[in-house]
Amino acid sequence: MQCLAVLLSLLVVALCSAGHDTGQLSNSSRSFAEYTDQSLLWAPYRSNCYFGIRPRNVDQSPFMMGVMWFDNSDASGLSRMRHFVDQGDRLTKYGWEVYDPRVGGKEVIIDEENNLNLTLYFTKSHSGENWAVRVHGQPIDFTRGTVASIVLYFNQNGEDGESKLVKLPELGDGSTKFHGVSKELGEYQITVEDNKGSYFSDPNLSTMEIVPGCDSSKPTHISLTIPDSNVWMAKDVFLSILSDSVKKIVEEKGAEAVNPSLFPSTFTVRNLYGFPPGNFHYLQKSFDNSDPEGFEFDIVYNKLNAQEKILSAQKVTALIVETLKHVESKFDRLFEIEPKNGKHHEFALETLSNLLGGIGYFHGTQLVDRTTIFDDEQFEEIKLLNSREEGPLSLFTSVPSRAAFPRGFYWDEGFHLLQIMEYDFDLAFVIISSWFELIEDDSGWIAREIILGDEARNKVPEEFRIQNPNIANPPTLLLAFSEMLERAIKSQEDSAMAFEKDDVMMQDETNQLEFNSNLLVEYARKIYPKLLKHYNWFKDSQRGLFEEYEEMLNEEGILEKAHEDEVYVWRGRTISHCLPSGMDDYPRPQPPDVAELNVDALAWVGVMTRSMKRIAHVLGLEEDEKHYQNWENNVIENLDLLHWNEAQGCYCDLTIDSFEDARTFVCHEGYISLLPFALKLIPRDSAHLDRIVSLMADPERIFSDYGLLSLSRKDEYFGTSENYWRGPVWMNINYLCLDALKYYYPEVLSAKEGTFSPEKQVAQKLFKDLKSNLINNVFKNWEEKGYCYESYDQHTGEGKGVEHFTGWTALVVNLMGRK
C-alpha cells in the first residue's frame, strides 16, 4: 500500500510545486518540491529552436535567449539563417547526443550549407540556479572560405517596470557583460567570453568597418525594445534590420559594397534607426571559418546572490565533463545495451536524449471555439470559426518532434511518459501533473493539442490551431498513469522489492517518490476530483447511441447481456478521417452513420476506467472502486459481445445497414482491431487470444520485417490515398502489442523453444521476431540517415513522415535494454 501511496502523492506534490504552493508542505514534501524546482528551473525549454533557453514556471518576467547562425561571406547566406528547427534546412544532423534536463548535455548540429559543425554544451551549477552554454564551431571544409556568423539574442521579459536587461561598459578583457533584473528571478549577470577563434578580417584592408557599426572583425551589439509576445520573432526582426542596413550600404558605397572581403561587414547588424536601449539585445560574432581549429565561446548566467557561481572557462569545462559523465553513467545503470562503445549504445543514448531534449515549457493563451455546434448527422469537415483566446495557461511537456510538432499532444504524451519514466520516474510525474493541471474544473476537458502563445502557434497550420471541447483523443495519459500504478502494485505484492534495490538507486534524487510513502496523506486526494471530472467528460462527450441497436440486439437474443452505457464513438470524424482517434485515415464504416460505434473508443474508456479503479483503491474509496470495477467489467463484456466478429476473428467497428436494418461489423484487420489486446482488456483466459496472435504473426496480413503493419495487406484500403495509418509501421502500437504479449504469455516468453503448445510457440516466436525487427529497422534508418522517423514504410522499412521524430519512436530504447 505504501508504494501506491508514493505514486499518487508524487503526482500531487508536483501539482503543488508547479504552482509554488509550498506554504502548507511538510518537510519531506518541501524537500521534493525544492529539488524539483531547482533541478528543473533552467533548460533549453524552447523546443522549437535549435537552441533556446527559458526558465520553467517563471511566467511574468522570464529571461529568454536563443542562438542563430548563418554564413555571411556572401549575400545568399541570409536565406540560410537558422533559428527554428526546420526539416527544410536539410541539416546533416541536429540533436542531443547526451542530455538530461536536470543537468544538461551536448547538442551537435552539422550544417553543410553553412559549412559549420556546431556543438553546443549546456550545463548547470549543482544548485541548478546558474548555467553555462559553450558554443564550439568548426568548418566542415576549411578551404571553402566561409564566415560563421553566430547571432545571440537575449531578452528580459516583464512589462512591470522592474525587470530590465542592460549591457555593461566594456572592461577591455574581451568579454561582453549584461546586468539583468527579473521580478521573479532576481538580479543576475550574463557574461559572453571567447575561448578561442578569430573574427573575420582581411589583412589587406586597413579597416573592416564598411560603415560605422558594421565591422566583422569584432563583436557587434544592438539593443532595442521588442514586446514580450514577439521575442520569438527574433530572426524576422534581425533580418528586417539587416536588410535595411544592407540596402543603405549599397546606396552609400556603391561598388565598394560588393568587395567580397567586406561582405561579412556588410552583413553585420547595426542600429540603423537609432533605437533607444531596451530589454532585447542582439550580439553578433562573425568568425573566420577557414581555421580548422574553429572557435569557441561561453555564455554564462550567474544569479548575483548565488553561493555557487560559474566564474571561469575552467569551471565551465569541469561542469560539462561532470554533466556528460553523469548522464552516461545513469543511462548505463538503467539500460543494459552492450557494448558500451558500440553503435547501438550510441543510438539508444542519443534517441533517449533527443526525447528528453524535446521537453519544453510553454506559457500563453490558447484558441478555443466553444460555440460551434456539431451536427452529428453531417460528416463534413467542421470549421471552427468562433475562437477566443483563453488563458494564459502553462504546460511542461515533451513534444513529438521539435521540427514539426513543438507543442503538447495529448495522444502522444502518454507514450512519451512510458519511456521517460524508465529514466527519471519523478520527471515523468512532474510532466503528467502539468497536464492534469489543465483539466478544466467545470467540464473536465483537456484540449487534444496544447498550443500556448504565438511562438507555439506559429508552427501550427491555421486549421489546427483552434481547439473544441467536443473533440477528444485517446487518453494515453491515463494509460501511462495506469502503467505507473501497475509498477507500484507489483511492488506492493512483493514488499521486499523496494529494499532489494541498489543503494545508489534508492538514493537517486530523481526517484525519490518511488520509495517515499509519507506524502499520500497530504496530497493524494487533491488530484482525484480532477481526474474524475476528466473521466466523466470523456465518457459523456464520446458516448454512442445504444438505442439504435436495441431491437437488433433483442432479435439476436443478447440485448439483456449488453451494457447500454458502455458504447462509444469518436465525435468529430469526417467521411475520410477520424482525427480524434489518433489514427487519422484508418478505414472506418462507409458511409458514416450517426449510430456508428467505434471499438477503439470503447477500449480507451476501458483503460481510463482501470486507471481510476486503481486510484480509488489507493485512496481507500471502496465504493468508488467497486463502481469502476463494475464499469470495467461492462466494457470488457461489451467488447466481446458487441465488437468481436467470430467469422473475421477480430474486433470491429459497428454500424447499421440501412437497407437490411441490421447490425453490421466493419472489420479492417490492423491496429484498431488489435487495441483491446494491446491495451490488455481481453481476459487472460480468452479464447480469442490465439486468433489475435495468429493475425499478428501472419506475414500475409500484418507481420513484416519492420514491425506490425497498421493495416492488413489484404485490406482493400491498404496503402491507398494518404496512406498514413493504412500500412506504415508505427512504434507506439507495436510497443503496446509487445507489452501485451509479455502480459498474456509471461511463462512462454522466458521458456525454451518447443516447451509449450504450437499456439503458444507462435506467441513466443512472434515476440522475439517482432522485437528484433522493430529495433533493427529503426536502428538501420538512424545509422543511414541520422534520424528516427514518425513511421516506417510498409514495403521497404524506410523512414516516413517527420524526421527526427523522437516522440513515441523513442520507445525503441525500452525495447533495446530496459533493466
CB atoms within 10 A of CB 142: 16
DSSP labels, 51-105: SEEEETT--SS-EEEEEEEEETTSGGGGGG-B-B--GGG--SEEEEEEEETTTEE
Which residue in 632, 790, 793, 803 is the catalytic one? 790
| Alpha-helical segments (H) within 708-757 | 731-744, 746-749
Asked if residues 708 and 693 have their Cβ atoms less than 8 Å apart, the reply is: no
For 502, the grid coordinates are 541498489
Which residue in 86, 332, 584, 798 is the catalytic one? 584
CB atoms within 10 A of CB 219: 21
Instruction: Name the phi and psi angles at 194, rounded to 5.
Output: -80, 140
Q: Give CA–CA dist 358/399, Å, rounded.
A: 6
Q: How far is CA 566 from CA 304, 562, 581, 635, 663, in A?
A: 59, 9, 17, 6, 17
In total, the chain counts a number of residues equal to 819
What DSSP element (H or E) covers 138? strand 131-139
Q: Which residue(s) pair with 64 in the sheet?
A: 155
236 burial type by CB count under 10 A (0-12 exposed, 13-18 middle, 19+ buried): exposed
Give the pairing type, strands 789-792 and 799-803: antiparallel
Half-sphere exposure of 145 (CA within 13 A, CB side): 6
Asked if residues 372 and 430 have their Cβ atoms less than 8 Å apart, the reply is: no
**258-295 as b/e, with b when 16 or more CB fall inside 10 Å?**
eeebbbbbbbbbbbbeeeeebbbbbbbbbbbbbeeebb
646 in active site: no
Give the pairing type, strands 116-124 and 131-139: antiparallel
548 contact partners, CB below 8 Å, separation of at least 6: 594, 595, 656
Which residue type occupies 679?
A: L
Q: How far from each other are the two terminal CA atoms of the chain, in whole angstroms?
A: 24
540 in active site: no
CA angle in degrees (0–180, nearest 5) for 767-794-93: 95
Just list the catalytic residues. 584, 790
